[in-house]
Structure formats: structure tokens, C-alpha cells
Amino acid sequence: MSDAYRTVDGRATIRFEERGSEFLGHVAPVDTVDEAERFVARVADEYDDATHNVPAYRVPAGPASEQTPDGDVMLREYSSDDGEPSGSAGKPALNVLQQREVRNVAAVVTRYYGGTNLGVGGLARAYSRAVKDAVDAAGVVTEEPHRRLTVETEYDDSGTVRGVIESTGVEFDAEYGERVRFDLRVPIDETEPLVERLNSATSGRVRIER
């Protein structure tokens, strides 16, 4: 069985004030660097009038199945101060994710400056609190590593394919165009059995991209 890991249960946003400055902490579960970057960009766009949008994330550096020689998943850990004094924002935000031992998670702390300088220590405490409170609001769960699959099929087989997918309980989105496309998020341990079932149910007519 693949190694389980801790992550946030969903998206959450919290808000508080510190000496006139307004802080918002946002977190979301993500599986890849691209997903983390997209979440960071969405928050920055939504709060583009803020003084700072400080990002931090911990996600697998490569495919979910890629591991170091000792069996650990290789993580990409990233943070930025986004214009705050060096070391006062991004690193404290990332430290919370490390200390809580959560991964596959992205965080952004939005700050609206209130006219009073908080100092490096005050900033570090505020950015840490924003991430901690957001993680608490989202809740922490234990997950198995997942893999993304794209399944394409003709309409004649789409009902059969959808039935197989739904019977497993995995997360998926369906798109009906010239062909039917299903985007799946499948626990790694369940990937091969699902692929075999889909191929068997359609006599190999389904197209699966990993």
C-alpha cells in the first residue's frame, strides 16, 4: 500500500485584524506544482487590491509515484515574501505547513496594510497565525497518494465507462464533446485495477492517458 499523508480536507479562508492590518489566510488541497501555482494565481487575482499576497506550498515535485531511495515522496517546498521584509512572511507561512506535517497543500496569506508597521516579529506571527487558522478551519485528513487519469471514449461506451467509474467512488469530472472525456483523481493503489476494469468493460476501446 502506498504511504498515506496528511493534507487539508478542502478549501478554507479565514480573516482577522492585527493592529489595523487585515489578514486573510487561504488554503486548498493540491496535487501538483501546477495546481498550487494556479491556486496562488487565483487568490492573487481575486485580491489584486491587497498590499501583499504571500504564497507557500508543499507538493510532490514530480509524479505522485516518484519517491526518494528511502521511500519518501520528493516534495517541492516554496514560499515568497511578496514584498514583505525578508523572512517575515513566506518562511513563517511555510513553517506552519511543515510543523503541521501537511503536504499536497497550498496557502496564500492576503494582507491589507493598515498604517502601522508590525515589525519582522509581528509580521511572522501574523502570517503564521493566518496559515494555522486556515488549516484548522479546513481540517486535516489522511489521504492516500493519487494519480490523475484522463479517460476518453465514444458515446456508445460512455454509459458503461461512467458506471465503472462511479462504482469505484473516485473523484471525476465529465466533459461531453465529440467524444466523452472523464478526468479522474484515483488513489495510486486503485489505478491498475480500474484501468483493467475499464479496458475489460469496453473490450479495450477506451483511451486512457496517465
| Domain boundaries, given as residue ranges, for the chain | 5-143, 146-209
CA distance 188 to 164: 17
Task: Give me the percent of the chain exceeding a pLDDT of 70.
Answer: 94
- Locate 59 and state its grid cell: 507538493
Q: Choose among 15, 40, 39: nearest CA to 25.
A: 15
pLDDT digit string (tens) for 167-191? 999 989 999 999 999 999 888 889 9
Closest CA to 32 of 80, 3, 66: 66
CATH class of 5-143: alpha beta
With a CB cutoff of 8 Å and minimum separation 6, the contacts of 163 are: none
Contact predicate 109/53, CB 8 Å: yes
Distance CA(19)–CA(114), nearest Å, equals 7
Condensed to tens digits (0 to 9), the pLDDT of residues 147-156 reads 889 999 999 9
pLDDT value of position 69? 42
Q: Which CATH code of 3.30.930.10, 2.60.120.1440, 3.40.50.620, 3.30.70.240 fits the domain covering 146-209?
A: 3.30.70.240
* Distance of alpha carbon 88 from alpha carbon 71, whole angstroms: 33
Q: What is the DSSP secondary structure assignment for residue 124, as one 8-state letter?
A: H
